[in-house]
Amino acid sequence: MSAVRRLIAICLVAGLPVGLAHAATPTASASAKASASAPPSASAAPETDAPEARQEPVAGEAESPGEGQPAVPPDLANGVPQADVNEASPGLAPGTISATIVTDRGLPLAGQPVRLGIMFQKIAEGESRSEKFAQADAQGNVQFTGLTRGSDNAYRVTVKVGAANYQTTPFNLKAEMGQRVVLHVFPSTSDSEAAAFGMRGYLYVETRDDVFQCEALFRVFNIGQLSWVPKDVVIQLPKGFKAFKAQEGMTDVRFDEVEGVGARLSGTFAPGQAGAPGQAEASFRFQLPKANEDTLVFRMTVPPHVAEMRVIAEASSTMNLSVDGFQAPVPMPNQNGQRVLVAVKQLRDRNEELKDFTATISGIPTVGSGRWFAVAIAGCMAIFGAFAARGAFDSDAADESALADKKRARELLLRELEALEVARREERIGPRSYQQSRVALIDAIARLGLPTAPAPTRKKGKIMTLRKRPKSAAERG
């Protein structure tokens, strides 16, 4: 399980903080605000009441499809859009996908272009992708026929309305029946103040021998009736970040690197259906260079409407974490039993806003300068010994001085080697740094060229031997 998944497991939260209501506009109902305060943990699908009042799109930003149609079609039960449908259907011929595209109010989208994404994947043949296109009829229906069945082919129905994309989860076609799909589309906006959504954010920091490995995840809860399509939403990452890699998801929600700046958020964050808020998440990882210092200070911005942010750092017993404006860090074990420190900030006031944070990790184990000083001395002594071996110093006094210096250097190196072993046992140094330092120290000791101490000699004991018996006279005769 990746670090991002581990941090979610560590940080199960009973519900979204009240601060999530900051995302809603004044037209959102009290019921919608209440629903923001109680979705379940990050690992489960939330069960909250949907907003009672429809939030109207901002002029010029969003337009609801099917305007002028009946206000409450059969698909809209109690004012709540019904859930998408994506299921095998015995009433359809094998190898057939029948899709119906409707608005958030259940009205058909006549003439809507529909894309069918196809992915073939087989171990022996690799992976290939293709696509088919069709246009919905007056009832919003479209049908794809003659498709390959089985687990080697995955399909996904996708539609694009304005800047927003809507799609099913990938599915396979069963051998004996087709697949029925109903896909809802919503009015959309790129204005974060017009859309009713909130976020939870997580940053997990792992201290490695040569870098700090960081993983960030942001989970978006949309409690309104507008899809949010972010535009120019960029997270500024700490200076010097490198090795950026975004997680590939099954939707268009993702982060992309902005070189030298940070990560840009894009995609469609759709409202919920059947009474549940919409959920989507995106994550990425990056590295920060690690100097031989015991403190790291970095700053990072966050996307709009982050109602809760958690910074989690793997930490040895000597390390500490502090984040400006956050609660004091709480130590706890992660899934592997390793100590982590968790600092949390939850927005409780509607007018409160989190735009960035500055974190400090202190007490980071470093490689002591004495060890490298000892290695340098050993190198000098080895060079000195090489000159002496070549007769560069003819006097006996010079030879005796060089030998004494070598012995002192060896004693220093041995003490450093012992200190290195203690530091490793106490986990004040990582395995890679330990191995590199140990090899360097042992190599330096060997290059000194001092003879090993002679093995203790054992006193020769008396060996009992059989003396020859003198021959008798008979034997001699």
Give the model's pLDDT for residue 70: 34
Q: What is the mean pLDDT of residues 427-451?
A: 76
E-strand ranges in 125-251 read 126-135, 141-144, 150-161, 164-167, 171-173, 178-185, 188-189, 197-207, 211-222, 227-228, 233-236, 242-246
**What is the helix (H) or strand (E) element at residue 301, kind and residue range?**
strand 295-301
CA dihedral 71, 73, 75, 78 (to 10 degrees): 60
Cβ neighbours of 34 (radius 10 Å): 15
Tell me, what's the pLDDT at 384?
A: 53
Query: By the 8 A CB rule, do 342 and 320 touch?
Result: no
100 pLDDT more than 70: yes
Q: What percent of the chain has pLDDT over 70?
A: 69
Would the pLDDT of 181 be above 90?
yes
CB 189 within 8 A of CB 57: yes
Q: What is the pLDDT of residues 322-358, one digit of tens each?
A: 999 999 999 999 988 899 999 999 998 878 899 999 9
**Cβ pair 272, 35 in contact under 8 A:** no
Quote the percentage of the chain above a pLDDT of 90. Answer: 51
Q: Which residue has the higher pLDDT, 452 or 173?
A: 173
Q: Are 67 and 74 in contact (CB under 8 A)?
A: no
Q: Is residue 418 helix, strand or coil?
A: helix
Please give the backbone phi and psi of residue 281, each rounded to the nearest 5 degrees, phi first: -145, 155
Q: Which residues make up the CATH 2.60.40.1120 domain(s) of the chain?
A: 74-186
Most trustworthy range by pLDDT among 52-61, 63-72, 205-214: 205-214
Q: Are strands 197-207 and 306-314 parallel, antiparallel or unpaired?
A: parallel
Joined together, the tokens standing for residue 217 give 């995840």
- Residue whose token pair is 């082919």: 153
Cα-Cα-Cα-Cα dihedral of 217, 223, 228, 232, to 10°?
-50
Arithmetic mean of pLDDT, 73-86: 66
Contacts of 457 by beta carbon, 8 Å cutoff, 6+ apart: none
Identify whether the C-beta of residue 11 lies closer than 8 Å to the C-beta of residue 332. Answer: no
Q: What is the DSSP string of 185-218?
A: E--EES-TTTS-EEEEEEEEEEE-SSEEEEEEEE
Which helix (H) or strand (E) element contains residue 432? Answer: helix 431-447
Q: Report the chain's C-alpha Rg in angstroms.
A: 35
Q: Is 131 exposed, middle or buried (0-12, 13-18, 19+ CB in 10 A)?
A: exposed
- Check residue 65 and give its pLDDT: 37
Lowest model confidence (mean pLDDT) among 76-85, 115-124, 381-390, 442-451: 381-390
Mean of the per-residue pLDDT values of the chain: 78
Q: Selecting from 1.20.272, 1.10.3470, 2.60.40, 2.40.50, what CATH number does the domain 197-362 have?
A: 2.60.40
Q: What whole-number distance in Å separates Cα of residue 435 and Cα of residue 437?
A: 6
Q: Which two tokens stand for residue 220?
A: 């978006």
pLDDT in the model for residue 69: 35
pLDDT at 66: 36
Q: What are 226-285's pLDDT values in tens digits?
A: 999 999 999 999 999 999 999 988 789 999 999 999 999 999 999 988 778 899 999 999
**Apex 382 CA angle, 377 and 385, nearest 5:** 125
Question: What's residue 431's pLDDT?
Answer: 74
Q: What is the pLDDT of residue 326?
A: 97
Q: Could you give the angle at which helices 369-389 and 396-425 cross, rounded to 10 degrees?
A: 150
Task: Say which residue, 437 or 52, is predicted with more confidence.
Answer: 437
**Domain range 74-186, CATH class:** mainly beta
Per-residue tokens: 327: 């609660």
pLDDT recorded at residue 124: 85
Look at residue 32 in the predicted model and tell me its pLDDT: 34
pLDDT tens, residue by residue, 375-404 = 555 555 555 555 555 554 455 555 677 777
Q: Tokens in use for 471?
A: 């021959």
Distance of CA 169 to the CA centre of its chain: 22
Write b or e for each residue in 331-340: b if 16 or more Cβ atoms lie within 10 A of its Cβ, otherwise e: eeebeeeeeb
